[in-house]
C-alpha cells in the first residue's frame, strides 16, 4: 500500500521570496496594517499545528523515517532540492524548516515540480505585478486563463512525480497550496489522507 498525506499550506512572506514586499504592500493597502499582522499570526498558528500533527502521526504509526518521502509545492526537480530548502528555511519559512527537521530524522526530500512550468508561472506573476494601471489589470483575462492552465499542468506533473516515485509501504507528505487539485490525478492504489480535512475542504470549495 502507498499512503499520501496531503498537508494544506498557506505561503508565508519567507516562502514568497522577491514577491513578499509586493504582497504585503497590496494587503496593507486593502485591509490595513493591523489586519496584516493578524494574518501573520494566523499563519504562524497554522504551522505550529501542522508541525505537531505531523510528529504525532509519525509517532502513532511507528513509521521509520527512511520510509517517508517529502513532496513540496514549488520545489523543482533539479538536483539542488536540499540547497533550495535550506535557503528558504534560512529566511524563516516554517514550511521549509519542518522539511529540514524531517530530513534530519531520515526522511527523503523529493523534487516535486517542473522547473520549466515554475519559470513560466514566475514570468506570468512578474508581468501581473508590473501592470501599472487598474485598467490594464482589468484586461488581464488572458493572463488569468494562462495561470489556470499552468496550475493544471503543474498539478499533473506533481501527481505523475508521486505516482512514479512513491513506493509500496511508503508514506508521502505532500505540502500543497489550497489552489491545487492533485488528488484525482493520483494512481488508484495510492491511499490519500488529509492532515487538516476541514481546511482542505475549504480550499476545494474556493477553486
pLDDT at 207: 39
Q: What is the per-residue pLDDT for 92? A: 87
Distance (Å, whole) CA 10 – CA 109: 20
How far apart are alpha carbons 82 and 89 in whole angstroms? Answer: 10
Name the pTM for this structure. Answer: 0.85
C-alpha cell, 31: 485591509
For position 145, what pLDDT does the model report?
86
Q: Write out pLDDT tens, residues 10-23.
A: 876 666 555 556 66
The average pLDDT across 161-175 equals 97
Residue pLDDT, tens place only, 64-87 = 999 999 999 999 999 999 999 999
Q: Indicate the pLDDT class of residue 124, thresholds 50, 70 and 90.
A: confident
Segment 98-125 shows an average pLDDT of 95
Alpha-carbon distances, residue 14 vs 11, 21, 89, 112, 189 (angstroms) = 8, 10, 8, 19, 35
**Could you state, in order of their start, the residue ranges of all structural domains in the chain?**
2-205
Average pLDDT, the chain: 85
Amino acid at each position: 500500500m502507498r499512503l499520501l498525506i496531503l498537508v494544506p499550506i498557506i505561503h508565508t512572506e519567507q516562502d514568497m521570496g522577491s514577491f513578499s514586499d509586493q504582497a504585503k504592500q497590496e494587503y496593507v493597502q486593502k485591509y490595513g496594517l493591523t489586519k496584516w499582522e493578524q494574518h501573520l499570526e494566523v499563519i504562524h498558528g497554522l504551522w505550529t499545528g501542522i508541525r505537531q500533527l505531523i510528529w504525532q502521526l509519525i509517532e502513532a504509526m511507528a513509521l521509520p523515517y527512511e520510509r517517508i518521502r517529502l513532496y513540496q509545492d514549488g520545489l523543482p526537480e533539479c538536483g539542488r532540492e536540499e540547497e533550495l530548502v535550506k535557503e528558504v528555511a534560512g529566511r524563516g519559512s516554517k514550511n521549509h524548516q519542518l522539511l529540514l527537521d524531517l530530513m534530519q530524522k531520515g526522511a527523503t526530500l523529493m523534487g516535486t515540480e517542473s522547473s520549466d512550468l515554475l519559470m513560466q508561472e514566475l514570468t506570468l506573476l512578474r508581468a501581473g505585478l508590473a501592470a501599472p494601471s487598474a485598467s490594464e489589470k482589468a484586461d488581464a483575462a488572458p493572463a488569468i486563463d494562462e495561470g489556470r492552465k499552468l496550475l493544471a499542468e503543474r498539478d499533473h506533473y506533481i501527481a505523475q512525480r508521486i505516482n512514479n516515485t512513491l513506493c509500496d509501504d511508503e508514506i508521502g507528505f505532500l505540502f500543497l497550496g489550497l489552489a491545487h487539485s492533485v488528488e484525482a490525478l493520483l494512481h488508484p492504489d495510492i491511499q490519500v489522507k488529509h492532515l487538516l480535512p476541514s481546511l482542505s475542504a475549504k480550499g476545494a470549495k474556493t477553486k
